[in-house]
Structure 1
Amino acid sequence: MRPFRHRRLTAVVALATMLVTAAPPTAASAGDKPDRRAGYHRVGYFTQWGIYGRAFPVKKLDTSGAASRLTHVNYAFGNVSEDGRCYVDGGPGEGDAWADYQRPVPAEESVDGVADAPGQALNGNFGQLAKLKAKHPQLQVLISLGGWSWSTYFSNAARTDASRKAFVASCIDLYLKGNLLGGDGAAGGPGAAAGVFDGIDLDWEWPNWAGEPGNVIRPEDRENFTKLLAEFRRQLDAFGRTTREHHPLTAFLPANPATMDAGYEGGKIFKYLDFATVQGYDFHGGWEAVANQQSALRVPAGSPDNPDFSVEVAIDGWIARGAPRDKLVLGIPYYGRGWTGITGGGNGLFQPATGPAPATFEPGYEDYKKLKTLAGDGYTVHRDLRAGHAWLFDGTTFWTYDDPAVVLQKTLYIRRAGLAGAMIWSLDGDDDNATLTKTIGLGLTTW
């Protein structure tokens, strides 16, 4: 079996290389020095809630082989209070301090096979991340602040010089210094999580642009975002002088050019960032009435939307606004978007639908590890090799997703465009063999 698998992989690599190099150059794909980086960032988001329904503890990053292929793990998410502070919210429906650092992890879920002992200061995901770093010293772990649900009060935190200073100080105190609530026999306490987190990832969705309903939005968010980055960089560097380490600062950036213009001062923000991850997904979804692509490398021929979204549109948009290509990391989805009630025939693409497809956790959203099992089980895999996307269709239900061939094509695009690497949302969507993460590792190996 091994020689056959090797030949098949070689053929896929050759095909993906041909497709990327044959494409007409754009601002992103016309990089003058492909493969010039000494190494690529490979950033994976670990979700706090993945330990529940998805049964994805930190240990799986080790046993699957994912951890050895990653450079960064971003922990999703940290919350921002209404008065502009970082905090761990244990309130129902809000935070989950139990998952973060209070839950005693049993031996069978522990990275090192040792169960959390009663009364120890650090349990839960934070404790396991510390063990993962000990086993994989190349890994850096960042706390990601905000996300779709917790960006409500970012604008408050960034509003004034005083609020920015207080916000940043609270985040460094909580996460980098590790001063957790608790102690006196309970998990937590001063310094309990020290050393778990190496830096900060800002997932403000979005400055001066509507995200989740209820988010606070101000026109001055655009300038204040840059000022907030400057304050993070200043305080992180000051903290680094005490630890004798560099503490990275990153940000998650949108794919929509209109959002780029409304919320960000173009290339100015990269003065403070180690790198930024760019949304490479959610271009379309079950909130629309037509089955479409959610993460295509290029806008497909026949797209009903003009203009439309794609990976190339997003990357070119940031480069046109002054972003250095070697600080842009492309986001890759480990999930698909789906529609059902498809009419119109053909392969389902661009056909009307009655609504989002039924799924395990959320209508219209399904993990890769589940979608891969549908291929051949009543579903046919379709590909647009030129546009760089794939989908499943059974005549009624349609799923757009990234499989290993699409992921490999995107890694070759990253290399040719001179980008900084790949980001994963989210690691719990992969299968138990970390197939997609290993594909990224293969595609971004520095030869």
Structure 2
Amino acid sequence: MSGPTRGAPLSTGTKQRTTLSRRTLVAMMSALLLPLAAMVGLASPAQAAGTTATFVKTSDWGSGFGGSWTVKNTGTAAISSWTLEWDFPAGTAVGSSWDATVTRTGDHYSAKNVGWNGTVAPGASVTFGFNGTGPGNPTGCKINGASCDGGPTNPGDNPPSAPGTPVASNVGDNGATLTWSAATDDHGVKNYDVLRGGTKVATVATTTYTDGGLAAGTDYTYTVVARDNADQTGPASAPVTVHTTGGGNPGGGNAVKLGYFTNWGIYGRNYNVKNIVTSGSAAKITHINYAFGNVQGGKCTIGDSYADYDKAFTADQSVSGVADNWEQPLRGNFNQLRQLKAKYPNIKVLWSFGGWTWSGGFGQAAANPAAFAESCYNLVEDPRWADVFDGIDLDWEYPNACGLTCDTSGAASIKTLLAATRAKFGANNLVTAAITADASSAGKIDAADYGGASASVDWYNVMTYDFFGAWDAKGPTAPHSPLTSYTGIPKDGFNSSDAIAKLKTKGVPASKLLLGIGFYGRGWTGVTQDTPGGTATGAAPGTYEAGIEDYKVLKSSCPTTGLVAGTAYAKCGSNWWSYDTPATVASKMHWAKAQNLRGAFFWEFSGDTTNGELAAAIHNGLG
């Protein structure tokens, strides 16, 4: 088409055309066509030579995986289209795809750009993805007909593989050491780029690197990329997040703000993971404890399989706004938590095991801590949902003491159990425990070696609530979550301040303690006295259980009438309730900061208002 257009002036007269000699015409046409030939010559070889493609598995759930190809223009001229080809081994296949048109012939695949992502400027890249089945990896990659490693400049020289996932050690306040397994390459690996938060911080020739100059008490995410002798880079390793030690003062901006999400909340309470988002609480928390997994026969087991990973959520219930289907590999709360983390990547999720009802198996677990830890690790790291969880929380109520059942495994059992759990889960996972706040003389804190066990945990969730309640049917009425002691308190040592102080004397650092907040109240009925200390006839009626009610209900049905020991109480008719409000939560957060605690946690999300008043008070109070 260029020839006729450029030759248009020749058609203005027959005489001009007929008087030109054949030699002259050939010379002119040759001169006209040379620029076109040059253009054609630059377009195809340059596009091939200057285009690379790399593949990475973005997720892997055993029977399937998420795959992503990145096409990069490494040349000096823009490309206007691209076609990528590769082979999968038998048993591995592409399912749904996006941002490319993928076709298949046998085990050979071809992906072509869609309309909007065909043009790629020099130095730019485009990415498309797909869901796959099977265990295999692609081979025989070609981009625009040439090798995916950059074309004819390095024929047959493939880029290196991804290095192994880095493992952190020697984690301190300001640094950590990373070690990873070597990548492979058909012509040898030259060195490795270490990336922190996606930015390269070092290039090293060995499979270890020590990073320094970090902030205390802070999360850092690392990946590693290999380079071959031709300076080609392969796919990045899987990421690892390292939390530096220290920095326990919430005032420093590193406070833990943790909420419990209960798997049974999706039933009668109709509280789904999506509600964490719509309430605004997702933007105000740092961690979630998913409650509960069971402890049976000394091992970690599933608590409610339907709620955990089977229930199909409708579009209006889903974090993503997309309905589940029965063909997808993971549904239930686990998939919803995965979607939540995609929207809020700063949130870490721990799977909590035990609780009041399911702590009976911990005694047997203490008899064989290694087997217990192995069972928990295998369950939490199940490939179907390993990416959902960032660690484990043990909620043993109570070691060497009585809860729903009594344990006689000895004071050291909590230390040995947590030590085995930490050894199995390693430094790259969080290991925490919910513990008693009974600071009475010879009480539950004294019954177990919480000081010795603290070396194995990132923090303790100190259950500074439920000190008093209508299990003492006749009273005396008392706030269930007093921050401090007060004149007339029914039992010495049953308050948050004394609990934190005793744990510190046992050797637990303040930076490993979270203050607990209840998003509910406890109450009695048959009460005539407004102030604490009155008699009662039994438990006040509650929506789900007598003697307990959510804050979101009580704030309107029984507004507060007084304050005592840093918390609120209310008398409405013959009912008497105690509960925390945004104002009392704010004062408790101020106290926690003054004590240099790591932060606070709450039980549990569904007790809060639809706009997350109490979660906001924790967030604002800790800063």
1:319 and 2:504 correspond: yes
Cross-structure match for 1:85: 299
Task: Quote the residue 1:230 is aligned against.
Answer: 419
1:194 shift after superposition: 2.0
Distance in 2 (CA, whole Å) between partners of 1:35 and 1:424 is 16
Q: Which runs of 4+ in 1 moved over 3 A?
A: 33-38
Higher percent of residues as helix: 1
Provide the C-alpha distance between the structure 2 equivalents of 1:34 and 1:195, rounded to a whole number of angstroms: 29
| Residue among 356, 360, 374 paired with 1:169 | 374
Match of 1:271 in 2: 455
The Cα shift of 1:167 comes to 1.3
| C-alpha deviation, 1:296, in angstroms | 1.1
CA offsets, 1:135-154, max 9 Å, x none? 10011000001000000010
Deviations 1:195-237 (A, max 9, x none): 1111010101001101103x5x2242x2121111111111111
Cα separation, partners in 2 of 1:34 and 1:81, compared to 1, 3 Å:
closer
Amino acid at match of 1:39: N
3-state SS in 1 of match to 2:556: coil
Mapped partners of 1:248, 1:110: distance in 2: 27
Find 1:295's aligned residue among 481, 489, 494: 481
Measure how far apart 1:308 and its partner are.
4.5
Alpha-carbon contact 1:256-1:309 (below 8 Å) kept: yes
Deviation at 1:170, TM superposition (A): 1.2
- What residue is the counterpart of 1:52 in the other structure? 267
Q: Deviations over 1:255-306 (max 9, x none)?
A: 11210111x2142111111111101100100011221110011112233x24
Count of residues in Structure 1 that have an aligned counterpart in Structure 2: 371
Question: What is the CA deviation profile of residues 87-106 of structure 1, one whole-angstrom value per residue up to 9, with x for unaligned ones?
Answer: 11xxxxxx421111100111
Contact 1:35/1:416 (8 A) holds in 2: no
2:314 counterpart residue number: 106
Aligned equivalents of 1:336, 1:69: Cα separation in 2: 22
Of 389, 400, 403, which residue of structure 2 is paired with 1:211?
403
How do 1:39-438 residues align onto structure 2 when only pairs under 5 Å count? 39-82=254-297, 84-88=298-302, 95-159=303-367, 163-175=368-380, 177-178=381-382, 191-213=383-405, 215=406, 217-220=407-410, 222-237=411-426, 246-257=428-439, 258-262=443-447, 264-288=448-472, 289-290=474-475, 291-303=477-489, 305-343=490-528, 345=529, 347-375=530-558, 381-384=561-564, 387-438=565-616
Q: Higher relative contact order at CA 8 Å, sep ≥6: structure 1 or structure 2?
A: 1
1:169 is displaced (CA, Å) by 1.1
Structure 1: runs of 5 or more not aligned: 1-32, 89-94, 179-190, 241-245
Q: Distance in 1 between matches of 2:573 and 2:544?
A: 23
Tell me, yes or no, if the aligned pair for 1:78 and 1:145 is still in contact at 8 Å. Answer: yes
* Aligned residues of 1:327 and 1:419 also touching (Cα < 8 A): yes
Which whole-Å CA distance do the structure 2 matches of 1:336 and 1:86 have between them?
Answer: 31
Q: Distance in 1 between matches of 2:458 and 2:552?
A: 31
Bigger radius of gyration among the two? 2
Alignment identity in percent?
A: 42
Q: 1:36 to 1:42 in 2, by over 3 A?
A: closer
Q: Distance in 1 between matches of 2:311 and 2:369?
A: 32
CA distance in 1, matches of 2:573, 2:488: 20
- How far the C-alpha of 1:38 sits from its partner, in A, is 4.2
Matches of 1:380 and 1:70, distance apart in 2 = 26
Give a deviation string over 1:384-412, Cα, whole Å, max 9, x none. 3xx21111102411010001111000000
1:407–1:436 contact (8 Å) kept in structure 2? yes
Could you tell me the TM-score, scaled by structure 1's length? Answer: 0.80
- Work out the CA distance in 1 between the residues paired with 2:268 and 2:551: 15
Work out whether residues 299 and 361 of structure 2, in 8 Å CA contact, stay in contact via their aligned partners in 1. Answer: no
Secondary structure of 1:424's aligned partner: strand
Change (3 A) 1:284 1:66: same
Structure 2 stretches of 5 or more lacking a match? 1-247
SS of structure 1 residue aligned to 2:412:
helix
**What TM-score, normalized by structure 2, do the two folds share?**
0.58
